[in-house]
Amino acid sequence: MRVKDVKKVVLAYSGGLDTSVILKWLQTTYRCEVVTFTADLGQGEELGPARDKALLLGIKPENIFIDDLRETFVKDFVFPMFRANALYEGMYLLGTSIARPLIAQRQIEIAEQVGADAVAHGATGKGNDQVRFEIGYYALKPDVKVIAPWREWDLTSRTALIAFAEQHQIPIAKDKRGEAPFSVDANLLHSSSEGKILEEPWDAADEMVWQRTISPTEAPDKVTEITIEFERGDAVGINGERLSPATLLTKLNALGKENGIGRLDLVENRFVGMKSRGCYETPGGTILYVAHRAMESITLDREAAHLKDSLMPRYAEIIYNGFWFSPERRMLQALIDESQKSVTGTVRLKLYKGNTIVSGRQSPNSLYSMKHVTFEDDQGAYDQFDAQGFIKLNALRLRLGAMAGRKGGAL
Amino acid sequence: MRVKDVKKVVLAYSGGLDTSVILKWLQTTYRCEVVTFTADLGQGEELGPARDKALLLGIKPENIFIDDLRETFVKDFVFPMFRANALYEGMYLLGTSIARPLIAQRQIEIAEQVGADAVAHGATGKGNDQVRFEIGYYALKPDVKVIAPWREWDLTSRTALIAFAEQHQIPIAKDKRGEAPFSVDANLLHSSSEGKILEEPWDAADEMVWQRTISPTEAPDKVTEITIEFERGDAVGINGERLSPATLLTKLNALGKENGIGRLDLVENRFVGMKSRGCYETPGGTILYVAHRAMESITLDREAAHLKDSLMPRYAEIIYNGFWFSPERRMLQALIDESQKSVTGTVRLKLYKGNTIVSGRQSPNSLYSMKHVTFEDDQGAYDQFDAQGFIKLNALRLRLGAMAGRKGGAL
Amino acid sequence: MRVKDVKKVVLAYSGGLDTSVILKWLQTTYRCEVVTFTADLGQGEELGPARDKALLLGIKPENIFIDDLRETFVKDFVFPMFRANALYEGMYLLGTSIARPLIAQRQIEIAEQVGADAVAHGATGKGNDQVRFEIGYYALKPDVKVIAPWREWDLTSRTALIAFAEQHQIPIAKDKRGEAPFSVDANLLHSSSEGKILEEPWDAADEMVWQRTISPTEAPDKVTEITIEFERGDAVGINGERLSPATLLTKLNALGKENGIGRLDLVENRFVGMKSRGCYETPGGTILYVAHRAMESITLDREAAHLKDSLMPRYAEIIYNGFWFSPERRMLQALIDESQKSVTGTVRLKLYKGNTIVSGRQSPNSLYSMKHVTFEDDQGAYDQFDAQGFIKLNALRLRLGAMAGRKGGAL
Amino acid sequence: MRVKDVKKVVLAYSGGLDTSVILKWLQTTYRCEVVTFTADLGQGEELGPARDKALLLGIKPENIFIDDLRETFVKDFVFPMFRANALYEGMYLLGTSIARPLIAQRQIEIAEQVGADAVAHGATGKGNDQVRFEIGYYALKPDVKVIAPWREWDLTSRTALIAFAEQHQIPIAKDKRGEAPFSVDANLLHSSSEGKILEEPWDAADEMVWQRTISPTEAPDKVTEITIEFERGDAVGINGERLSPATLLTKLNALGKENGIGRLDLVENRFVGMKSRGCYETPGGTILYVAHRAMESITLDREAAHLKDSLMPRYAEIIYNGFWFSPERRMLQALIDESQKSVTGTVRLKLYKGNTIVSGRQSPNSLYSMKHVTFEDDQGAYDQFDAQGFIKLNALRLRLGAMAGRKGGAL
């Protein structure tokens, strides 16, 4: 912000030290009214302290917003994304990326409601989250002023930050005085860790990094078998019990955690142009990914599946880069949602020490035809002779090429 | 073949009962000279008996071709494919698909050498392999006559087949009298099982199906740590020891096998239009896939990686459908190979009960810049303020849309 | 058909000599009841004679179906396709391809209505139309029997065909005794000519081939200026006059015809594997294509437009190959239709001797912001300084690559 | 540049008023040594005056670089791009985009040669050219300092610019005192005009905008017929006369100009996020585009062509956005170049009042098989019966879908 005329700002506020410092810095630097917004996205922290701290820092009660967004998060963000089998760079289930647009959306709703002209977040200038927040802000409220303190202030060392906190009577938990050995983000879908002790990509991640799953080596010696029920592309139950989206994901997280499922140690490419290394834990999401693919395997037409697969990298990139609220994401979502109408049925899985193993799938909409595929007598369901013409015409262009001197598909 | 004027045919001959029946059937039906071709692709069977049996069935010694193609298979087929991180339908490492073009190629070479006008294979009329063989034949020798006995003859039951074998004095191993409970294909990259007891996709695969890997539950309780060395996209060594392509894959197979790695139970879509269920074991290939992605993660530029990822489904489909010898595969290969010039370095992995876990990657060509990504003072390597302009211009079209009434990326 | 037990067949019947011979051949070969279906798709022929001829050939009145499908054709087939800016192989507006699924659909509706177990068409075994018809049939009525006389009978020469016609008292127009110098297909969207005198791709098409447009060299020396009005991606009016879909296209055809617009002489790749040469005339469609792109140019978001463009070749291929009634086409259509919500406004065009020239576009939903783009003082709408950060972060990965020795984007 | 310690800067210098002001501004603001680089890319201006003016403004003779890059431009930039049939947003032949990387490349070469630490260009902060220049600079010399005066200085009005020029004794041509009615960029491939009188997209472009082509309405009343000869994807001759790349394009430009070919009035989407309206003239390029597609139509395999077409929008976007020197462009180029090996032969065209009409194509590598496509007796080249199996297996998945209740390809 080079424009200093901010009147009221809605801050994405976690209640932690960093966003508390931001809160106070906004008050002192912009001399504007600060509204705090704290969301429960399943990060596993109490929200009460955030309210207390906001009050302590001088925020008026009517300016403190605390929302439980867990069901919205899973139903309207996580599930639509999982319909696409989205993996960024072939591996990453996008746990952080998918939470940011919801926070941005709610922040803007609050800004409209309280008449704020600005929003602020606590993401740094090196990462993807600043992009995801701000793209969301601008797409939803094009005239909003955006304040990104980490890009603006001079509190660039831990010492400076602590000094500012002390100077402004911001309470500092004992264990926050020193620097954390790595940085964590968490929500109902995943936890991510990065930075500091994780910065050297040749060094194995320390076991302390993994907080949401037990190690495969520590997981039980026995297989846990479960079923997941799907309707129109979304999981709706576990072991026959119908569950709300957030409840279902919570349960899958527990199952994944105790079986050591969903760890990923990845070097990825950030939208801002550098590579970074992250350690991700997506226990329930990993199970859901495998199950959804298995559900699709018997209910989706081949070309429908291949079309989805061919667009998936683009879809994942869009979300990773922060363009959830964009025409291109909406268009792809329309295509993906259209494909899921018959993705209904049950998948059976074995969970065991880091493995999610499909052991069965069934559906009222199955396209799997035992009558056709059987090695036994198929009673005329399939005429093997058809294959000859099929192959000959598929080969024709290559035969014509070979006759013209381009053997073996040469160009 | 409606044209019966075949003079000499090169048969892809395994030495087993089925292709022995085909051999005799070709002799009696087409009254043509039969040349047998048996390849060692690492399927794990002795080739000596194939020669003996061919001789027994009246094939002239000069018409018996037996080749060890393992190094060619891995170097010229498996490795180029792994450069693409090819997965069919998100899961399948294409172990059968990639072997067929090599067999077809060698069969046609032999046909040219011995002056044969026809080739024959033992694939059925329902599967993909017939397509893969025949597309290869036609692309390499456009005037070749193709005989696919399973689409032509009336030996459509096991009983009829055995009767034909007995009538023609074809030796029948005791355990081949009855029907196998499922059908198997194997080579150095993988084993696949399908059919019969595997036809119901809701039924879990019996443990007897898995022949090339021990179960994760039976695998050792301790982690095996290895390194894989890469040069220009191909694996060249394990634990610092330089190995030839086939030797390397053989060693990875052993490592994968004993750690329960590489099983896949999948319902897939065949090119001929039906779904089928296969159980695949790709122990070494699974490790190689994970390692190659990790190697790329620090050596490939982001857009190079994303471009590859976006084309991978198409590339995998091309190979699955049998179009290895095609212009489109060659074009994509040119793109992929271009990308691999700097994919050189070392990946460290932990193998444990079905898991292949990346624990480190390093490269002389690394694009990972600790100087840029660090949470510490980066001494000006990266100007966080740049992010503001980056975000604002990336958001501009969405802001203009929102100003025109299309908030949140609405269309 | 190897199965001869056909009871009742619905024939796509034009009333011409060829389909009359087919009608009689079906009666004599399959000894089944024949139902004729003749559609007005705007091919420019009277349908009365088709009825008379069917009666003459012994078809019962209740078995004669004649439908004017022009509005359906344009509204439900042509317009959805034009929303995609579909061009096959960069050039072809798919005039024949888009008509086939509608004919197939109506034929199957009639089959269901009259209880027919079979359908028949007059397309040859070399072309795309057989595929388009039959894919449609099978997708809509999976158990239908399909009769394709040209692939089955022995009337393979003109002489044999005429002899059969004479033998069965089929009236033969004088000018149909000899062979036509080329083959024609027509509907409201286009006319296509191919075969015979057009088979040598080096020879220029004779002027007589072009039947639906006057030559650019013969077109008026003056410019005709028109406007086309769009709503949600579809043309709804010309020069301010609201018109029904078929009326609108008819009028555009007249405008295109008299201005020599819409000719295309193309060598294309057929789905069955060979190349063919076609001369196409799409006068109104060519104008519509240019206008629709211009309409989108101010109303579509950039990434929405680019996503559409990237999928267009696949969409066009799907339609060309005959897969209108497929999940993949429906999925892409959902994406495309989603994009068109704001494609509303007016385009002004100059038509002149083969040229369709955009001279203006306006829209209530325009995303064009003169305030931003202006070379004049923009009063802060756009901060040029933002571009620096935008460029620096877009370049960062390339800079990191160059620092690692890969200058100029080398790999 | 916030860092002011520039020692020596290489300026892309046209000799015009704007870059002369920049030259002087660099001297006075950065107090650094200025090196001028002026390229002949076929923009149609004498380069002598640029040298004189640079000398006049105090540039040392050894710091003045003037290069004729026309052959390099066409051979290494224009032709590779035309192999891809690149069109941005379906219409634009990328005439400006493709020139920028060559200028950037040469500027960096000079910087390395003279030991300059900075480069500067005269593009504004709103357009694409700044991005194209700077991406090139950074990719080739990652530590280079980039000066973009239009984003930095306060000479934001014409008056201020003229005043600065007068103050520094920069000669001002009489016709440059007022503002130009629109802005022009030109090179051997095209001229573009934008801004000012072109800013309202509903207003037709004034005829004065078009400088490089005569109007179709003014073009000769007779058809000009030419042939273009190709080798491996590049044009090598016209009417049988072998020509160097730049000579060839120059001649095509003359042919296009006099026949009113290659005008385009377009609203396009800039990389920086806004829409703009440009009037482009690409006379020779338009002819070349049509001819190249026609050459490919008989020499490229279907899937090779479709693969190219599916990647073309991405390739065009990469070039438009300024990423010529990038891994992704190089990878796509490898794929495209691989496809062109047999794109050799001759295309015959008719040029007439804005139209480029293909009237014939022939090639020693033609894949067009008259034997197969003929309507006459093909003597067994093609077995029509093969089509039945081809269609039946292509339809199988849709039939299975319909049997499962999803008729017509429903999902």
Given A183, A297, A326, A366, the catalytic residue: A183
With 0.90 as the threshold, say if the pTM is over it: yes
Do residue A390 and residue D385 have CB atoms under 8 angstroms apart?
no
The residues, any chain, with a CB within 8 Å of residue A237's CB and separated by 6 or more, are A228, A229, A243, A248
| Shared-domain flag, residues C247 and C271 | yes
Which residues of C belong to the active site? 18, 100, 129, 183
Which among C304, C397, C405 is the nearest to B302, CB-wise? C397
Half-sphere exposure of A246 (CA within 13 A, CB side): 13
Interface test with D, best of A400, A403, A406, A407 (most D CBs within 10 A): A400
Do residue C348 and residue D202 have CB atoms under 8 angstroms apart?
yes
| Shared-domain flag, residues C198 and C121 | no
The mean-pLDDT minimum among B177-181, B183-187, C199-203 falls in B177-181
Interface test with D, best of C270, C384, C403 (most D CBs within 10 A): C384
Say whether B399 sits in a helix, a strand or coil: helix
Give the containing element (helix H, strand E) for A106: helix A100-114
> Annotated binding residues of D, as ranges?
12-20, 39, 92, 97, 122, 124, 128-129, 132, 183, 192, 268, 280
Candidates C267, C290, C407; CA nearest to C349 is C290
Do residue D338 and residue B328 have CB atoms under 8 angstroms apart?
no
pLDDT tens for each residue of D117-173: 999 999 999 999 999 999 999 999 999 999 999 999 999 888 999 999 999 999 998
The number of residues making up chain C comes to 411
**Which pLDDT score, from 0 to 100, does residue C4 have?**
64
Instruction: Count other C-beta atoms under 10 Å from residue A400's C-beta.
Output: 24
Candidates A145, A106, B400; CA nearest to C303 is B400
Q: How far is CA A228 from CA A289, A308, A348, A355, in A?
A: 11, 22, 7, 16
* Amino acid making up residue D84: A
Q: Which residues of C touch A331 (CB under 8 A)?
A: 304, 307-308, 335-336, 338-339
Do residue B142 and residue A277 have CB atoms under 8 angstroms apart?
no
A404 touches chain B (CB under 8 A): no
Which among A273, A304, A335 is the nearest to C393, CB-wise? A273
C379 touches chain D (CB under 8 A): no
The CATH number that applies at residue A138 is 3.40.50.620
- pLDDT below 50 — which residues of chain D? 1-3
Find residue B34's DSSP bridge partners. Answer: B9
| Shared-domain flag, residues A45 and A148 | yes
The mean-pLDDT minimum among B278-282, B381-385, C353-357, C377-381 falls in C377-381
In the residue annotation, B100 being an active-site residue is answered as yes
| Shared-domain flag, residues C353 and C228 | yes
Last residue in a domain, options A110, A142, A168: A168
The CATH number that applies at residue C189 is 3.90.1260.10
Say whether C276 sits in a helix, a strand or coil: strand
Examine residue B115 and state whether it is found in any structural domain, yes or no: yes
Burial of A371 (0-12, 13-18, 19+ CB in 10 A): middle
Whether B244 has a binding-site annotation, put simply, is no
> Annotated binding residues of A for L-aspartate, as ranges?
124, 128-129
A272 touches chain C (CB under 8 A): yes
Q: What is the 3-state secondary structure (H, E, C) of chain D?
A: CCCCCCCEEEEECCCCHHHHHHHHHHHHHCCCEEEEEEEECCCCCCCHHHHHHHHHCCCCHHHEEEEECHHHHHHHHHHHHHHCCCCECCCECCCCCCCHHHHHHHHHHHHHHHCCCEEECCCCCCCCHHHHHHHHHHHHCCCCEEECHHHHCCCCCHHHHHHHHHHCCCCCCHHHCCCCCCEEEECCCCEEEECHHHCCCCCCCCHHHCCCCCCHHHCCCCCEEEEEEEECCEEEEECCEECCHHHHHHHHHHHHHHCCCCEEEEEEECCCCCEEEEEEECHHHHHHHHHHHHHHHHHCCHHHHHHHHHHHHHHHHHHHHCCCCCHHHHHHHHHHHHHCCCCCEEEEEEEECCEEEEEEEECCCCCCCHHHHCCCCCCCCCCCCHHHHHHHHHHHHHHHHHHCCCHHHCC
Examine residue C87 and state whether it is found in any structural domain, yes or no: no
Q: How far is CA B159 from CA B163, B179, C253, in A?
A: 6, 9, 66
Examine residue D2 and state whether it is found in any structural domain, yes or no: no
A367 touches chain D (CB under 8 A): yes
Examine residue A265 and state whether it is found in any structural domain, yes or no: yes
Instruction: Count other C-beta atoms under 10 Å from residue C88's C-beta.
Output: 22
* Cβ–Cβ under 8 Å, residues D122 and D103: no
Residue C175, pLDDT above cutoff 90: no
pLDDT tens for each residue of C257-301: 999 999 999 999 999 999 999 999 999 999 999 999 999 999 999
| Shared-domain flag, residues B245 and B346 | yes
A393 touches chain C (CB under 8 A): yes
Q: Which residues of B touch A157 (CB under 8 A)?
A: 377
B376 touches chain C (CB under 8 A): no
Which chains touch B (3+ CB pairs under 8 A)?
A: A, C, D
Do residue D323 and residue B338 have CB atoms under 8 angstroms apart?
no
| Shared-domain flag, residues B228 and B202 | yes
Residue C244 main-chain phi, psi, to 5 deg: -70, 160
Do residue A303 and residue C393 have CB atoms under 8 angstroms apart?
no
Q: Which residues of A touch D403 (CB under 8 A)?
A: 369
Do residue B331 and residue D335 have CB atoms under 8 angstroms apart?
yes
- pLDDT below 50 — which residues of chain A? 1-3
Which among C142, C202, C273 is the nearest to D360, CB-wise? C202
| Shared-domain flag, residues C119 and C146 | yes
Pair of tokens at residue A396: 């024709």
A145/chain B closest Cα distance in angstroms: 11
A404 touches chain D (CB under 8 A): yes
Do residue B307 and residue D332 have CB atoms under 8 angstroms apart?
yes
Q: Chain A 328-347, CB below 8 Å of chain B: which residues?
A: 328-331
Q: What is the mean pLDDT of chain A?
A: 96
| Shared-domain flag, residues D107 and D12 | yes
A392 touches chain D (CB under 8 A): yes
CA angle A350, A356, A361 (to 5 degrees): 60
Give the containing element (helix H, strand E) for C68: strand C64-68
Question: Where does C181-223 show beta strands of DSSP type E?
Answer: 183-186, 191-194
| Shared-domain flag, residues D163 and D113 | yes
Residue B3, pLDDT above cutoff 60: no
Given B51, B100, B106, B329, the catalytic residue: B100
Chain B residue closest in CA terms to D300: B327
The number of residues making up chain A comes to 411
Examine residue B268 and state whether it is found in any structural domain, yes or no: yes
| Shared-domain flag, residues C157 and C187 | no
The mean-pLDDT minimum among A158-162, B260-264, B365-369, C397-401 falls in A158-162
pLDDT tens for each residue of B95-130: 999 999 999 999 999 999 999 999 999 999 999 999
Which among C273, C394, C395 is the nearest to A397, CB-wise? C273
Candidates C97, C59, C279; CA nearest to C191 is C279
Query: Where does B268-385 have alpha helices with state H?
Result: 283-299, 302-321, 327-339, 370-373
pLDDT band at residue C1 under the 50/70/90 scheme = very low
Do residue A395 and residue B310 have CB atoms under 8 angstroms apart?
no
D208 touches chain B (CB under 8 A): no
pLDDT tens for each residue of B7-55: 999 999 999 999 999 999 999 999 999 999 999 999 998 898 999 999 9
Question: Where does A239-366 show beta strands of DSSP type E?
Answer: 241-242, 263-269, 275-281, 345-352, 355-362
Interface test with D, best of C119, C203, C222, C274 (most D CBs within 10 A): C274
| Shared-domain flag, residues B45 and B157 | yes
CA angle B296, B298, B304 (to 5 degrees): 55
Q: How far is C-alpha D317 from the geometric centre of its chain's CA atoms? A: 12
* Cβ–Cβ under 8 Å, residues B281 and B213: yes
* Cβ–Cβ under 8 Å, residues A369 and D400: yes
**Which pLDDT score, from 0 to 100, does residue D376 have?**
81
In the residue annotation, A129 being an active-site residue is answered as yes
Q: Which residues of B touch C393 (CB under 8 A)?
A: 386-387, 390
Region of A362 (left: φ > 0; alpha: ψ -120 to 50; beta: rest) is beta
Q: How far is CA B223 from CA A32, B352, C222, in A?
A: 56, 5, 82
| Shared-domain flag, residues B262 and B354 | yes
Candidates C298, B395, D270, C370; CA nearest to A140 is B395
* Amino acid making up residue C15: G
Do residue B131 and residue A391 have CB atoms under 8 angstroms apart?
yes
Candidates B302, B293, B298, B300; CA nearest to B349 is B293
Q: Chain D 273-312, CB below 8 Å of chain A: which residues?
A: 301-304
Examine residue C369 and state whether it is found in any structural domain, yes or no: no
B83/chain C closest Cα distance in angstroms: 14
Do residue C304 and residue A397 have CB atoms under 8 angstroms apart?
no
Q: How far is CA C130 from CA B330, C90, C122, C183, C270, in A?
A: 31, 23, 8, 15, 12
Do residue C390 and residue B387 have CB atoms under 8 angstroms apart?
no
C-alpha dihedral (A365, A366, A371, A373), degrees to nearest 10: 160
DSSP string, B222-282: S-EEEEEEEETTEEEEETTEE--HHHHHHHHHHHHHHTT--EEEEEEE-TTS-EEEEEEE-
The residues, any chain, with a CB within 8 Å of residue A148's CB and separated by 6 or more, are A120, A121, A123, A125, A130, A134, B387, B388
Q: How many structural domains does chain C have?
A: 2
Examine residue A79 and state whether it is found in any structural domain, yes or no: no
Domain with B209, as residue range(s), is 183-299+342-362
**Which pLDDT score, from 0 to 100, does residue D375 have?**
81
B381 touches chain D (CB under 8 A): no
Angstrom distance (rounded) from CA B375 to CA D245 = 52
Examine residue C217 and state whether it is found in any structural domain, yes or no: yes
Do residue A204 and residue B306 have CB atoms under 8 angstroms apart?
no
Angstrom distance (rounded) from CA A228 to CA C251 = 57
Residue C154 main-chain phi, psi, to 5 deg: -110, 20
* Cβ–Cβ under 8 Å, residues A159 and A144: no
Candidates A339, D376, D310, B286; CA nearest to C332 is A339
* Cβ–Cβ under 8 Å, residues B387 and C388: no
How many A/C residue pairs have CB atoms within 8 Å? 81
